[in-house]
Amino acid sequence: MTKHVPSSARSPQQELPGLLVWTLTAATLFAASWVLVALPVDAALRLVPDAERQLLEAFAVYVRPGAIGALDLIAELAQGVVLALILAPFRGVVLRRAHPFWVLFGVYFGLVALGSVEPLPGSLEGWFYTRTSLAGHALIVAAAALHGAVMAWALPRALAWLGVSGRRETGRAHKAIPGRPAGWGRIARFTLLHAVTYLAMGLVFFTLQDYSEAFATQQQFLHFRPLDDPWVAAAIPAQIPRGMLLAWFVAPFVPGLIRRRRGGMLLFVLLFGATALGSASIVPGLLGATPTELTLRTLLVGIPEVATQMLVFSLAFVAWESRQARRSEAKASRRSRDDGRRRIPRP
């Protein structure tokens, strides 16, 4: 006979971290792990040609001219704060899953680095828009993967040490977050909407803004390919595989979003925050930690298009998925009623 274990005898559940603890812990670990990754990357770059090193230093993802200084640490700490605040509404989704490592790795590597909408070395967009070589991209991808893995491993453990991991002390996760698992149908809908809105907003803003002049005159586009380069044109069909990867990385968050009020806005915060505002160029560039200093004026080229595209996409995708979920629930309810009628014995 199985004994009933009273709730008071079970392993105590830790609380979710408060906003301040979450932000300080995540930001500190982000800056520390960035230094941990940047040092060996800097050493590895001594083996590449000077021209390639100068190109990677200009983008300053993990490579900065000279030694790492106080401004670099402040910039990475600030970027870590931005990313922590973006993830703050999703603390329960991240920490109470059976494998929080993969959710965090998907954010810090998948969205922030590989899926960055800012064309940088190591990102899919950077592959088409920048002059970075294959070796340069490979080096930054490896560094970003290591950075993401360190963050995904260290953050849950640091929060558990502080007693705010949101999990039971045995390490067992809570009941899975409700919602249908991500399937190929959801990935296909995500990819289709992403590609359509990317193309539509690109055409609209190419008409409204003079990208040709910006590419020719602004320092931030100095190491970009010309707009008439075939590689730049290839970035449009490349949104299909990029959309599939983004769909995979955000999959853990979708079931909760389609059941929350303003879920579309929350998806926008996650996507725009992680792939744009939290990218390796925006915050460090605004603080002057990179060779290419950014200003709010220079960000008016590109960022409005990105924000509009992601807002339209997020609202449309969550609305579509919510409709799909309601249809599935209605179908399951009808099937349950039909099964119940069949079990009733006839007189």
- In the block, residue with structure tokens 């998948």: 110
* pLDDT, position 76: 95
Reported as type and span, the H/E element at residue 303 is helix 303-343
* pLDDT, position 88: 95
| Lookup: tokens for 247 | 């769909």
Alpha carbon distance 128, 226 (integer Å): 11
Residues of the chain with pLDDT under 50: 1-2, 5, 7-9, 171-180
With contact defined as beta carbons under 8 Å apart, do 240 and 343 qualify? no
* pLDDT, position 340: 62
| Lookup: tokens for 285 | 């560039």
The 10s digit of each residue's pLDDT in 121-175 is: 999 999 999 998 898 899 999 999 999 999 999 999 999 999 887 765 554 444 4
CA nearest to 50, candidates 119, 137, 136: 136
Domain ranges of the chain: 16-167+178-333
Provide the Cα torsion 330, 332, 337, 341; round to 10°: 140
| Lookup: tokens for 253 | 């968050």
* pLDDT, position 288: 87
